[in-house]
Chains A and B, each alone.
Chain A
Amino acid sequence: MSWQPIFLDRLPAKIYEKQYRMIISWRYKFRNSIMDRIDPRSRWIFSFAFLISATMFWNANYLFVFFVLAVIWYAFGKTTWKETRHGWLLVSIMLFSMIVINTIITGGGAGGVVPPGGHVVWDKGFSLPLLKWHIDFGLTVERIWFAICQLMRLGGVSMIFVLIPYTMDSRAYGATFHGLGMPDKFAYTMELAFRFIPTLARDLSVTLDAQKARGYELEKVKGGIFRKIARIAPLLVPVTMNAIVTSEDVANAMDLRCFGQAKRTWIYPLNYHWWDYLVNIFSAFMLIGSVVAVYVFDQGGYWVPNWFLNLFIHH
């Protein structure tokens, strides 16, 4: 079941939809997937171990292993394309920019890894017919291979992290970060922020409606960028100031209940299962193994396999 604020459970569905459809809905829903059964703490441990491990390598053999691992992890989430396409749109823009523009065309993205020179396969650049621009660039085999490595590396990391909003229950964040060693107050801040989101979304919606009734238009503001930004003020100021005034009441109420005087308990307690320990142990091995492979056996470096060179270079 998708999450909604507890106090809204009592509202008839029609009123709830009418008031909240405009702004906020969490992307998480229970899918009865393998990922739903893995403890969120183990998931964060795995995700960060993967990030640190994968970014140590430019060696395609290792990156391929990480990529396959990411595909398997992603499949555990049982998400659909329709659900996650928004996240992938952002990742696609990033990958296009990093791989096509920065690596293949300009070579800037490969500058830190691929040695200068190389085997040229295309040196004529290309023209943009409508604009009549000619873009000069020389494409080398080494840069094409680097683009493939980058696709596996960034694609793998993206799969791990794009999955999080769709498969991690937002109610468990406070307890999760507390379980990972974050102090009570910081973990509770995170928990409280989640609680405030629907309230502030409602305030924003009410303020927007009130300002619109006075002729305010958020989307169709005339003028340049500076004017557009300044015109946000009638929305930003009342919502922010109202939130600050409300905060004082919340803080007073928490003080009256002796907040921070004793160790907290959490509404959604987390318990490790045997498979969570396996994920943690695997993550530790992945991280230690990567450090040893890169810093002891020098396996992390970039190189182009001969079979790939032979595809382009004819002897």
Chain B
Amino acid sequence: MAEKKKSIWKFGTREVVFAAIGAALYAVLAYATNVLQLPGAGNVSIRPAVVIPMFFGIAFGPIVGFISGFVGNILSDLLSGWGFWFWWDLGNGLMGLIPGLISGLIVDYKAIKSLLLGELFVILGAAGGMGVASLSEMWVSGADLNTVIFANFIPAFVSNIINGLILLPILMVAYAAIVQRSGRS
């Protein structure tokens, strides 16, 4: 099968729908799994839904990944009644955008190379997204760098990469079957 080079920055009708579905999925799953708390870490919940913007970024491009994370986090907070925290929404958006940068390179979603590349960009995405969100607390809260790293960045980053690293390959392999069946990617 000839490999077709994908334009990762395209934002047509399909991308509009995928971004909307990604955002709604992220919001619903985050809301539904709020019951899962990390033992011994106050206010840090296990949020398996963070894999959604990462996966949508890899499957459908960085813009779809960004909107899934950014809008999804806004919707999740609206459903939970947690308010509107722009800098954390932006961080979640980046967590989808950064893995999306490799979407053009992935053709076979269940190939080992694709899975490893996806895992690497999950780590980079979580680092970039949570880094930006955490650093913004220096501006908003006036906290110093140490506080931001230990109180904001590390809990959010570690929790998100664990979720991403475990769940992303499962979704990629499942999506490979969909692509094979439908003939579209």
Contacts and interface: CB of A to CB of B under 8 A. Distances in A.
Interface stretch (A5-13, A133-141, A184-192, A276-284): A184-192
Contact of B151 (A97, A208, A245): A97
**Most-contacted residue by chain A among B78, B83, B140 (CB, 10 A):** B83
Interface string A160-173: 01111110001000
A111 B84 contact: no
A98 B141 contact: yes
Interface residues of B, number: 67
A229 B162 contact: yes
B178 interface: yes
Instruction: From A113, A165, A260, name the one whose CB has the most chain B CB atoms within 10 angstroms.
Output: A165
Interface in A226-271: 226, 228-230, 232-233, 236-237, 239-241, 243-248, 250-251, 254-255, 259-260
Contacts of A229: 46, 48, 162-163, 166-167
A108 B42 CA distance: 19
A288 to B, nearest CB: 19
Interface string A173-213: 00000000000011011101111110111001000100000
A92 B51 CA distance: 28
A158 B83 contact: yes
A219 interface: yes
B175 interface: yes
B147 A111 contact: yes
Contacts of A208: 32
B31 A27 contact: no
Interface string B155-185: 0000000110011001100110010001010
B115 to A, nearest CB: 15
Contacts of A153: 142
Nearest to B79: A24
A189 B166 contact: no
A254 B178 CA distance: 21
Interface string B89-110: 0000000000000000000000
Nearest to A114: B142
A154 interface: yes
Interface in A58-112: 58, 83-84, 86-87, 90-91, 93-94, 97-98, 101-102, 106, 108-112
A190 B175 CA distance: 24
Q: Is the interface of A mostly helix, strand, loop or mixed?
A: helix
Contacts of B27: 193, 197
B127 interface: no
Interface in A282-304: none
A233 B137 CA distance: 33
Given A200-B24, A204-B32, A150 B142 contact: yes
Given A153-B142, A247-B17, 5 more contacts: A93-B42, A164-B84, A194-B75, A229-B166, A244-B175
5 contacts: A98-B143, A111-B147, A193-B72, A226-B166, A248-B14
Interface of A: 23-27, 47-48, 51, 55, 58, 83-84, 86-87, 90-91, 93-94, 97-98, 101-102, 106, 108-113, 146, 150, 153-154, 157-158, 161-166, 170, 185-186, 188-190, 192-197, 199-201, 204, 208, 218-219, 225-226, 228-230, 232-233, 236-237, 239-241, 243-248, 250-251, 254-255, 259-260
